[in-house]
Amino acid sequence: MARKDLLASITASLGHAGERPASETRSEYARRGASRAMMQSLDEMAESALKMMDGHTVVSLNPELLDDSFVDDRIGEDTEEYAQLREAIRLSGQSSPILVRPHPDTNGRYMIVFGHRRAKVARELGIQV
């Protein structure tokens, strides 16, 4: 008994390779296994880069790169509340990020938009914001 197609039972659900263009077969292969994982990682990295460029991401900054805003902070100086904030950040870290924008005059520096007190605490404690 002669066998015409030894892999017919395996390839039946996929159809015959001769019926599809080679480029379609290659693109389907790239959607599986390690190739798929690598493509997803690249897509995630590209998305993260776009978010960062648009300013929609959280990053750690050295507080020494931060300059105060030209606008005064809306929260007044209350030493007791400030001491409580400092202790809370010292014990459990900063839970809310501050908002910064690139400094208009100096490359590599940032101006604080929101979170002046948290940035001040970070400077005092020597931690990233």
pLDDT per residue as tens digits for the range 82-111: 899 999 999 988 888 888 888 888 888 888
With 0.75 as the threshold, say if the pTM is over it: no
Q: Does domain 63-125 have CATH number 3.90.1530?
A: yes
Give per-residue pLDDT as tens, 5-63.
666 666 665 555 455 555 555 566 666 677 777 778 788 777 777 766 666 667 788 88
Written as six digits, the tokens of 89 are 């950040």
Every domain range in the chain assigned CATH 3.90.1530: 63-125
